[in-house]
Each structure stands twice: as structure tokens, then as C-alpha cells.
């Protein structure tokens, strides 16, 4: 029974999510499998990969062949490196301690690279957010500048109204005796005009 380490598709349409499984090569893509070795989520940036290294190495030592994509994923997580180093132990070139030391050093270096990528993505996202904020501020300033002439046009009208109110107030301060006399003169004239029209 030839065993393959391959991806089994899960997730929804347009959002794939994969299980990394050891399965009989004759079984269907999403069918029966012998063991689930991990998961792979390409929807995140960087892609999220969770692999059980020891079980994957055990399957490789027992003769399981990974597909091209599965090999790339296993290599990315260091499974292929550990399998290679354990081959050196079988030949007597390395000891178990040396293998663990080399593998851990490689893992630390890989984690630094992944963290650097995450930091770069976060920095790029922050810069994009800052640029968007600046662009929004410019648009708001243009809107305010466009609205200011209207406010200035309204200001002279308000000043004219204030001047009219000031003249009215000044007229009210004059003696009230003159106003009824003026009204009295206007009233007989209006009555005389009305009689003439009749």
C-alpha cells in the first residue's frame, strides 16, 4: 500500500483550508486517510501552517512520499531537514544531540525570518493607514476651504442686519413726542386724499 503525504481540502468556496494527511495513494482526495499530520491555511499572510514534526518524520522514514505541495510545506516547517539529519544519525555521522541542536538553531533562524516578514507587513499596513489618514485630512481641509466663502458672504449680511438694528435703536432713543405728531400729520392727509377720491 503506497502511502502519500498530501493535502486534503476543507473550508468553503473561495476560502480553502487544508489538512496535511498521510493517506493511501488510491483513496480519494478528501476521502479516508491514515493520520492527520497538520493543517495549512493559505488565507492568512503569511500562511498559517501547523505540522506535527515527529509524526511526519516517522511517516517519511516508513517510506511515505509527499506530493510537491506537501513537500514544500514540510520543507518550510523543517520536517525534511529533520528527516535528513536523522538519516545522518542512522549512518553514524551525527548524534541525536547534534541533530536536535542543529534543528533548533534552524527553527530559531526560520522564526526570525517569519517574524521579520510579519513586522514588515505590519509596518506597511501602518504606513498605508497613515497615508489614508493624510488623504482624508486633505479632503476635509478642501471641504472646509470651500465652505468658508459662503460663511464670509453671510457675515456681511449679518453686519448689515446689525447696522439696521443699530439705526432702529437710535430712532427709538429719540423723543417719543415727535412720532405721534408725525403720525397725526399723516393721518389727516390720508383722510383728505380719501375724501377727494370719493
pLDDT tens string 33-57: 999 999 999 998 888 999 999 999 9
Phi-psi region of 91 (alpha: psi -120 to 50; beta: other; left: phi over 0): alpha
* Helix-helix angle 53-61:79-91, to 10 degrees: 50
pLDDT tens string 160-185: 566 666 666 666 665 554 555 445 55
The dihedral sign for the CA sequence 138, 142, 143, 147: positive
Average pLDDT over residues 133-160: 75
CA–CA distance, 121 with 126 (Å, rounded to integer):
9
State the pLDDT confidence band at 97, using cuts at 50, 70 and 90.
confident
150 has pLDDT over 80:
no
CA nearest 39: which of 30, 29, 50, 23?
50
Q: What Rg, from alpha-carbon coordinates, does the chain have?
A: 44
E-assigned strand segments in the chain: 3-12, 15-24, 35-41, 48-51, 65-66
26 has pLDDT over 60:
yes
157 has pLDDT over 60:
no
Phi-psi region of 5 (alpha: psi -120 to 50; beta: other; left: phi over 0): beta
Strand partners, 19: 8, 39
- SS3 labels along 51-103: ECHHHHHHHHHCCCEECHHHHHHHHHCCHHHHHHHHHHHHHCCCCHHHHHHHH
Amino acid at each position: 500500500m503506497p502511502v502519500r503525504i498530501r493535502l486534503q481540502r476543507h473550508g468553503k468556496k473561495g476560502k480553502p483550508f487544508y489538512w496535511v494527511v498521510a493517506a493511501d495513494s488510491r483513496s480519494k482526495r478528501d476521502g479516508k486517510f491514515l493520520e492527520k499530520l497538520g493543517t495549512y491555511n493559505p488565507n492568512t499572510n503569511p500562511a498559517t501552517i501547523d505540522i506535527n514534526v515527529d509524526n511526519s518524520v516517522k511517516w517519511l522514514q516508513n517510506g511515505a512520499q509527499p506530493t510537491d505541495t506537501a513537500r514544500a510545506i514540510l520543507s518550510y516547517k523543517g520536517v525534511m531537514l529533520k528527516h535528513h539529519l536523522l538519516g545522518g544519525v542512522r549512518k553514524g555521522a551525527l548524534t541525536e544531540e547534534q541533530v536536535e541542536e542543529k534543528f533548533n538553531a534552524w527553527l530559531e533562524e526560520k522564526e526570525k525570518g517569519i517574524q521579520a516578514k510579519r513586522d514588515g507587513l505590519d509596518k506597511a499596513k501602518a504606513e498605508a493607514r497613515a497615508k489614508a489618514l493624510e488623504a482624508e485630512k486633505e479632503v476635509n481641509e478642501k471641504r472646509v476651504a470651500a465652505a468658508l466663502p459662503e460663511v464670509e458672504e453671510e457675515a456681511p449680511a449679518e453686519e448689515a442686519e446689525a447696522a439696521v438694528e443699530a439705526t432702529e435703536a437710535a430712532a427709538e432713543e429719540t423723543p417719543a413726542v415727535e412720532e405721534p405728531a408725525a403720525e397725526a400729520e399723516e393721518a389727516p392727509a390720508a383722510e383728505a386724499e380719501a375724501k377727494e377720491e370719493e
